[in-house]
Amino acid sequence: MLQNFCKVFLFSSLLLYLVSIFLFNDPNSSLLISHLIASNDSNLSHLVFGLIGFEKTWHHRKNYIESWWRPKVTRGYLLLDVSPSASLLPW
């Protein structure tokens, strides 16, 4: 029984691998990707940060984030477990 399962699994895996090679191996796709990578340099405006935390710990972490956060340049979202207290606003 186990030997049969192993044969079926091996055959299925090989079949999926071969199908993926033939379907997704487009020679033009690698040229397109290399062109996109070469022509577009990344900068800070391409990044979006997602920060998640607790409102109680945000008081201590706020200074750390402000050390690298650039207003009107850095983009991101802050998700807290509860609405921030007045001492944290407007952030």
In this structure, the answer to whether residues 64 and 86 fall within a common structural domain is yes
In this structure, the answer to whether residues 31 and 64 fall within a common structural domain is no
Each residue's pLDDT tens digit, 10-27: 888 888 887 777 676 665
Number of domains in the chain: 2
In this structure, the answer to whether residues 86 and 58 fall within a common structural domain is yes
Residue 34: which domain range? 1-40
51 neighbors 88 (Cβ within 8 angstroms): no
In this structure, the answer to whether residues 20 and 61 fall within a common structural domain is no
Each residue's pLDDT tens digit, 33-79: 666 666 667 777 788 888 888 888 888 888 888 888 888 888 888 88
In this structure, the answer to whether residues 36 and 11 fall within a common structural domain is yes
Beta bridge partners of 53: 80
In this structure, the answer to whether residues 1 and 30 fall within a common structural domain is yes
| pLDDT surpassing 70 at residue 90 | no
Whole-structure pTM value? 0.46
In this structure, the answer to whether residues 35 and 55 fall within a common structural domain is no
d(CA 62, CA 36): 36
